[in-house]
């Protein structure tokens, strides 16, 4: 068991940021360009050709959206262990994860009040602005029959859990490196075995093991635990994804097991590789705004694309994407200012 | 793309031995043996619990039945990767000569073995008894069945055609590969695309098969060049994506090459990711003597497993059942592989090593015995045990 050098750890964190950036870009493409155009009956050559040449042959479903979410969760699991290990405040990290959900839910509610159109979850009924309270309280992602106004808010739920468990792994060390991921997998297994097949928890349970794999990779590449048991735990996590995919009828047929395999292999290969350059790039920009992109794609982007229906669809989507990215930039800057304000005040 | 453990060599590339690829080669050869033996059993409509279990466990990955194509994709990819490393330090003539010596004599020996087994009538799934004639043997020795027709004595040989096409192209483009490393794979992509368009779908001959699978070897080449720092990561990813799309296209527009049911492209992507992952593997398993020894025998396994394995299955399956017959078949394949390796492959390895050493002695400057910066005495890129092993890795895979 060897401890990774500071340089290697830095390269690994950078790789996780690249993965997070890829995840955010895939999310934006999948839900805005793929799903929105499908729901409007719009045919886009770019989307059609990508499906024909990439998605179908490789078995990547839903235009890569689930792959994007899985990459985000892998990076999140990894960072939750590394960031806590680097001495960053857990509270600060929780705020950083949770704030976009609050803002996103508020924006969704405002859009609904204004008669706008937002992305609805897979099995949700009539959306109401009051649903934002349930989103902020996270109840909408756990209770049967709820209608979250922020369809992808459940990803933030997993990230919040991961932030807490990552802090436990990193701060407790020792056996926590083992029991924390295994306990999470046990929880996923028990919940998936006993919860209602039509539960809104299905997606959350199916994707949660990816965050656990991210934590396992962080422990393995950081030299905190021997490799082979971690590999076995990672295989168990993948097995849970494959099993939950079968256990919940709504999830069957989306090939999440294969997608999870791609995501985990890509993430692990990249973290073990040396990406070299440390200069800031577009990837860094996407990585740091990823949660804002997650919440604004289905709200601001979706609503704007729908509102611009008089324009050619391609132009409407370009404008909607640009607006999503702009809003993400604003969200990121505002949250950074908010989080650093007390520090500046003390100084 | 991997963590640099040694400084760039005089040639501009990193040359450390990629121990992880040995693991992958061993796994790939096991997958190939498993695929053929399991297919034999399922072809006889026999129930086999282990096979059912393997198919059930891997079903979420939407692989082909019996782990098919995993081994072939791995070998082609690793071959492109490792042979590219070798090609950067050999002249075109030397490169071709060494590949030919590595590939052809063992193939001929395996064909004689296959001829003997086919003549017993025990392996009709592989070749009919009528194929065991001297004419067919000679025809197979130069890949004749793929060009002029006739019975194939050893069905796995088609993948060697893909590799030989790659070797020939690489030998021709070695000067380009050294000066503009990205160019040969770009030219290859254009040629593959044009050939796929021009050769009719139902055309007889190996051209369509070769161009369908060549992109896999070139993806290996690009991984190698990116890993050595000779091609920028972005360019390698872009060119690799083009080759992946060419492979997808081959499936979409070809008839009779790909078995219906899909599962080729997802396997290829998974193997690409696994290769990237295993390239940086450097643990005790990857570095173990056993892994190294098994990796050296993968070509022998590839050549002998089918005639030996099928014959044993045919002899035993009715008497002792599929599972036991399969177990004994694997043991007999292991023994036959070892004998084949010792009798055919190892003497060739020694011959090549002797010739390389002799040539190195002749090229060594007479006034000094000091190593050149970044290279060793025999002119190989890199220094030390890993550099020597790196050269052998290329030799092994070829």
Short-list B146, B149, B166, CA closest to B157: B146
**Is A17 contained in some domain?**
yes
- The residue in chain B having the minimum alpha-carbon distance to the alpha carbon of residue A255 is B60
B1 chain-A contacts, CB cut-off 8 A? 273-275
Residue B10's pLDDT band, with cuts at 50, 70 and 90, is very low
> Looking at residue A127, what is its pLDDT?
75
Residue A143's pLDDT band, with cuts at 50, 70 and 90, is confident
The whole-chain average pLDDT of chain B stands at: 85
Residue B378 predicted with pLDDT over 80: no
Q: What is the mean pLDDT of residues B184-205?
A: 86
Please tell me which of the candidates B248, B270, B280 has its beta carbon nearest to residue A261: B270
Q: In chain A, what is the straight-line distance between the N-terminal and C-terminal CA atoms, in Å? A: 42
Residue A347 predicted with pLDDT over 80: no
- The residue in chain A having the minimum alpha-carbon distance to the alpha carbon of residue B4 is A274
* Block residue for tokens 């990508």: A50
Contact A297, A262 (CB under 8 A): no
Angstroms from B193 CA to nearest CA on chain A: 15
Short-list B397, B398, B389, CA closest to B18: B389
Residue A89 contacts by C-beta under 8 Å, 6 or more apart in sequence?
none
Count other C-beta atoms under 10 Å from residue A241's C-beta: 27
CB contact under 8 A, B276 and A58: no
Please tell me which of the candidates A11, A57, A241 has its beta carbon nearest to residue B248: A57
3-state secondary structure of A150: coil
For residue range A50-90, what is the model confidence (pLDDT) as tens digits?
A: 999 999 999 998 899 999 999 999 999 999 998 876 667 88
Residue B255 predicted with pLDDT over 50: yes
Q: Of residues B179 and A11, which shows the higher confidence score?
A: B179
**Is A213 contained in some domain?**
yes
Q: What is the mean pLDDT of residues A33-46?
A: 91
- For chain B, what are the domain ranges? 19-362+379-397
> Looking at residue B398, what is its pLDDT?
45
B284 at interface of A, judged by CB pairs closer than 8 A: no
Beta bridge partners of B2: A273
CB contact under 8 A, B266 and A258: yes
Q: How far apart are CA A88 and CA A80, in angstroms?
A: 10
Residue B177 contacts by C-beta under 8 Å, 6 or more apart in sequence?
B84, B87, B88, B170, B183, B184
Count other C-beta atoms under 10 Å from residue A69's C-beta: 26
Residue A32's pLDDT band, with cuts at 50, 70 and 90, is very high
Element (H, E) at B255: none
A4 at interface of B, judged by CB pairs closer than 8 A: no
Residue B382 predicted with pLDDT over 50: no
Beta bridge partners of A273: B2
Please tell me which of the candidates A58, A268, A272 has its beta carbon nearest to residue B266: A58
B267 at interface of A, judged by CB pairs closer than 8 A: no
A241 chain-B contacts, CB cut-off 8 A? 60
A242 at interface of B, judged by CB pairs closer than 8 A: yes
For residue range B324-372, what is the model confidence (pLDDT) as tens digits?
A: 999 999 999 999 999 999 999 999 888 888 887 887 777 665 443 333 3
- The residue in chain B having the minimum alpha-carbon distance to the alpha carbon of residue A1 is B283
* Block residue for tokens 């040629």: B191
B269 chain-A contacts, CB cut-off 8 A? 58, 262
> Looking at residue A221, what is its pLDDT?
84
Q: Of residues A318 and B397, which shows the higher confidence score?
A: A318
Angstroms from A26 CA to nearest CA on chain B: 17
Q: What is the mean pLDDT of residues B29-44?
A: 93
Residue of B60, B234, B264, B287 to mutate, interface with A, max A Cβ within 10 Å:
B60
CB contact under 8 A, A265 and B283: no
Q: How far apart are CA A271 and CA B280, in angstroms?
A: 10
CB contact under 8 A, A272 and B280: yes
CB contact under 8 A, B61 and A245: no
Alpha helices by DSSP H, chain A = 6-28, 37-39, 45-50, 56-58, 65-85, 90-113, 131-136, 153-172, 176-194, 201-221, 227-247, 256-272, 282-288, 290-296, 302-307, 313-346
> Looking at residue B11, what is its pLDDT?
41
B237 at interface of A, judged by CB pairs closer than 8 A: no
Q: How far apart are CA B25 and CA B102, in angstroms?
A: 17
B328 at interface of A, judged by CB pairs closer than 8 A: no
Please tell me which of the candidates B4, B245, B273 has its beta carbon nearest to residue A266: B273
CB contact under 8 A, B4 and A262: no
Residue A298's pLDDT band, with cuts at 50, 70 and 90, is very high
Count other C-beta atoms under 10 Å from residue A346's C-beta: 6
Q: In chain B, what is the straight-line distance between the N-terminal and C-terminal CA atoms, in Å? A: 23
Share of chain B above pLDDT 70, in %: 86
**Is A344 contained in some domain?**
no
Global ipTM:
0.90
- The residue in chain B having the minimum alpha-carbon distance to the alpha carbon of residue A246 is B60
For residue range B63-118, what is the model confidence (pLDDT) as tens digits?
A: 998 999 999 999 999 999 999 998 988 899 999 999 999 999 999 999 999 999 99
Residue B218, CA atoms < 13 Å, CB-side half-sphere: 36
**Is A346 contained in some domain?**
no
**Is A212 contained in some domain?**
yes
A44 at interface of B, judged by CB pairs closer than 8 A: no
Residue B53's pLDDT band, with cuts at 50, 70 and 90, is very high
CB contact under 8 A, A57 and B266: yes
Contact B312, B329 (CB under 8 A): yes
> Looking at residue B373, what is its pLDDT?
34
A57 chain-B contacts, CB cut-off 8 A? 248, 251, 262, 265-266
For residue range B278-305, what is the model confidence (pLDDT) as tens digits?
A: 998 888 888 999 999 999 999 999 999 9
The sign of the dihedral angle between the CA atoms of A282, A284, A289, A290 is positive
Short-list A150, A159, A279, A278, CA closest to A207: A159
Element (H, E) at B306: helix B298-320
What is the DSSP track for B362-387? HHS-TT--PPPTTB-TTS-BS-HHHH
For residue range B123-145, what is the model confidence (pLDDT) as tens digits?
A: 888 888 888 899 999 999 999 99
CB contact under 8 A, B61 and A273: no
- The residue in chain A having the minimum alpha-carbon distance to the alpha carbon of residue B277 is A269
For residue range B146-165, what is the model confidence (pLDDT) as tens digits?
A: 888 888 999 999 999 999 99
Task: Determine the structural domain holding residue A275 and report its residue range.
Answer: 6-339
Share of chain B above pLDDT 90, in %: 60
């Amino acid at each position: 068991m060897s401890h990774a050098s500071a340089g290697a750890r830095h390269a690994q964190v950078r790789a996780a940021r690249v993965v997070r950036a890829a995840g955010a870009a895939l999310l934006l493409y999948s839900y805005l360009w793929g799903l929105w155009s499908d729901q409007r009956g719009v045919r886009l050559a770019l989307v059609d050709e990508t499906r024909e040449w990439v998605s179908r042959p490789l078995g990547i479903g839903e235009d890569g959206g689930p792959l994007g979410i899985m990459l985000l969760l892998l990076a999140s699991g990894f960072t939750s262990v590394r960031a806590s290990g680097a001495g960053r405040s857990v509270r600060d990290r929780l705020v950083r994860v949770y704030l976009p959900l609050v803002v996103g839910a508020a924006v969704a509610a405002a859009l609904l009040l204004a008669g706008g159109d937002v992305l609805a979850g897979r099995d949700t009924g009539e959306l109401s602005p009051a649903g934002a309270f349930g989103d902020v309280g996270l109840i909408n992602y756990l209770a049967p029959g709820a209608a979250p106004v922020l369809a992808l808010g459940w990803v933030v739920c997993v990230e919040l859990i991961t932030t807490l468990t990552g802090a436990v792994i990193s701060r407790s060390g020792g056996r926590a490196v083992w029991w924390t991921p295994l306990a999470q997998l046990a929880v996923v297994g028990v919940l998936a075995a006993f919860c209602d097949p039509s539960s809104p928890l299905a997606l959350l349970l199916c994707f949660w093991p990816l965050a656990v794999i991210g934590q396992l990779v962080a422990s393995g590449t950081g030299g905190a635990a021997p490799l082979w048991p971690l590999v076995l735990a990672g295989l168990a996590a993948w097995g849970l994804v494959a099993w939950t995919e079968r256990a919940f009828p709504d999830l069957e047929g989306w090939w999440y097991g294969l997608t999870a395999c791609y995501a985990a292999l890509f993430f692990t290969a990249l973290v073990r590789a040396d990406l070299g350059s440390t200069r800031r790039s577009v990837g860094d920009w996407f990585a740091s705004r990823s949660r804002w992109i997650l919440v604004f794609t289905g709200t601001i982007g979706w609503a704007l694309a729908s509102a611009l229906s008089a324009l050619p669809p391609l132009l409407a989507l370009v404008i909607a994407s640009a607006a999503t990215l702009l809003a993400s930039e604003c969200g990121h800057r505002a949250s950074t200012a908010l989080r650093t304000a007390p520090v500046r005040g003390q100084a | 793309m991997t963590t640099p453990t040694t400084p760039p060599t005089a040639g501009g590339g990193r040359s450390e031995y990629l121990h992880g690829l040995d693991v992958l080669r061993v796994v790939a050869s096991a997958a190939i043996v498993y695929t053929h033996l399991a297919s034999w059993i399922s072809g006889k409509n026999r129930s086999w619990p282990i096979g059912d279990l393997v198919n059930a466990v891997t079903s979420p990955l939407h692989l082909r039945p019996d782990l098919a194509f995993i081994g072939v994709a791995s070998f082609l990819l690793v071959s492109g990767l490792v042979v590219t490393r070798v090609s950067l330090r050999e002249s075109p003539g030397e490169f071709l000569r060494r590949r030919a010596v590595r590939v052809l004599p063992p193939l001929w020996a395996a064909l004689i073995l296959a001829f003997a087994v086919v003549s017993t009538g025990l392996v009709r799934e592989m070749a009919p008894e009528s194929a065991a004639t001297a004419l067919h043997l000679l025809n197979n020795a130069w890949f004749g069945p793929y060009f002029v027709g006739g019975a194939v004595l050893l069905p796995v040989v088609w993948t060697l055609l893909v590799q030989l096409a790659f070797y020939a192209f690489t030998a021709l483009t070695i000067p380009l590969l050294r000066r503009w490393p990205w160019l040969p794979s770009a030219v290859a992509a254009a040629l593959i695309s044009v050939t796929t368009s021009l050769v009719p779908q139902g055309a007889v001959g190996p051209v369509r098969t070769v161009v369908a699978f060549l992109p896999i070897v070139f993806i290996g080449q690009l991984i190698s060049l990116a890993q050595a720092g000779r091609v920028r990561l972005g360019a390698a990813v872009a060119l690799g994506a083009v080759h992946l799309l060419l492979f997808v296209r081959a499936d979409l527009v070809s008839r009779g090459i790909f078995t219906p049911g899909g599962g080729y492209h997802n396997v290829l992507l998974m193997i690409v990711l696994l290769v990237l992952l295993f390239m940086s593997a450097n643990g005790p398993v990857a570095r173990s003597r056993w892994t190294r020894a098994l990796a050296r025998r993968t070509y022998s396994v590839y050549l002998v497993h089918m005639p030996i394995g099928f014959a044993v299955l045919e002899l035993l399956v009715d008497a002792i059942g599929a599972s036991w017959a399969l177990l004994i078949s694997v043991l007999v394949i292991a023994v036959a592989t070892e004998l084949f390796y010792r009798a055919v492959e190892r003497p060739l390895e020694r011959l090549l090593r002797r010739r390389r050493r002799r040539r190195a002695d002749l090229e060594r400057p007479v006034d000094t015995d000091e190593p050149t910066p970044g290279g060793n005495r025999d002119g190989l890129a890199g220094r030390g045990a890993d550099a020597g092993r790196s050269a052998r890795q290329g030799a092994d895979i070829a």
